[in-house]
Amino acid sequence: MSRPRRDPRAEREAKTVAVTARRRLDLAAFVSPSRRPRRDPRAELDVIEVFGAPRRRYDRTQTTALVSRMMKRAATQDAEPKAPQVRIVETPAFHVFAVLQTPKGRLSRFDRQILGAARMLADAGSGGGAVVALASAATADLGPAGADRILDLGDEPNRPASLRTEGVKAAVEQLQPKHILLAEDDESADLARRLAVTLGEPIMTDAVYLSAKQVARRKNGMRAEEYGEPPRIITLGEDRAANYSGAPCEARAIEDAPALDLNDPAILSVETIPGDPTQLSLSETDFVVSAGNGVTDIEVFKNLAKVMTATPGASRVICDAGLMPRSAQVGASGTVLSSECYLAFGIAGAPQHLQGIAGCDHVIAVNTDLHAKMVERSGLAIIQDAQLVMPALWQLIEERRGKA
């Protein structure tokens, strides 16, 4: 038996949507050869099913089908999302300090890792410990990041390291924490060593592994590892601990903070002088602006990076062409970034380039291709020619600075 012969014109006519402007076709519509709508027996049975019966019953008369359908919809509708239950540690058995940096009043990726490690130590064994975040009370997301208590020592950006050490020392004497965790980075690393000398406590620096029973670090040029029980003061390397992902914690502020003497007669003034971002290494900066094959005017790009106080970077294509130095190359074959923000002009997003920006918190892409991999990776995308966006962005920055 031969198959029925198809009539393309008839099929197209059957899928025509009646409109007044121009002809449109609903290609997803299924039309049977007889042009009759195809029945769905299962859907018909679901409509006439009597809701609430112990056995499946059907109302063939359709008298209660509408009521049954409405009841079923009401029962199957998703309930309103409830707020997650806050985890409260009312009387902690011990405390674990997490000394945070909180740049610009918010938690960095490193801060979240420190809180995650502190949460792990507080919950280890029989648990009952509380994580105390030494940070400003105005810092957001301390509870979801794992902090049970907040101890605000009133740290200021330009406070001398000696005064910060005295503040943490006073907090340690007041609460007697079991462990003190800090980041092996800049000021926190210096603070940890000052604190160890002041308290006379042992310290484990740049730990690569941490658990409730063991801590490890590299030595002898990273050719060997040193293990031991976790001391009281520990500094963690970046990406050595996971973020806390459990229920949000209380993040209750400790009211009776230790009183501090903020005057140090040996220090007359303290001032932080920021370095030139255009001269910083890509691995050390927080804001990187990169140019790709879609950027033709490199001078405008460099000037924009200077105006935005960002470190200029580039894709491999730009560096191979000699338009940017090899040290500016971003990617697996160049520099792997851990910056807070990454702005890409005219970069499609090769796999090796995406590997280099995997550690960036925020990615912004400017590209003409809506389906580019960089646009897919970004949290904010501008679909436009980079050569048009750069001068417009430059002008906007100058206007806002003029108003300020």
Q: Is the pLDDT at 43 greater than 60, yes or no?
A: yes
Q: Which residues lie closer than 8 Å to 25 by C-beta, 6 or more apart?
A: 12, 15, 16, 17
Report whether 313 contacts 306 (CB < 8 A): no
Take residue 378 and report the two structure tokens written for it.
Answer: 């970004």
Q: What is the pLDDT of residues 150-180, one digit of tens each?
A: 999 876 666 778 888 988 999 999 999 999 9
For residue 338, CA distances in Å to 283, 293, 313, 393 come to 7, 23, 13, 24
Provide, rounded to the nearest whole percent, the portion of the chain with pLDDT above 90.
56
Domains and CATH numbers, the chain: 15-76 (no CATH), 94-253 (3.40.50.620), 277-403 (3.40.50.1220)
pLDDT digits (tens, 9 = 90+) for 216-240: 999 888 888 899 999 999 999 988 9
What percent of the residues of the chain are helix, what percent strand, and what percent coil, each to the nearest 5? 30, 20, 50
Label residue 52 exposed, middle or buried (CB < 10 Å: 0-12, 13-18, 19+): exposed
Q: What is the pTM of this model?
A: 0.68
The two tokens of residue 344 are 């890409």
Write phi, then psi, for 162 (nearest 5 degrees): -65, -40
Q: Which SS3 state, helix, strand or coil, does residue 54 take? A: coil
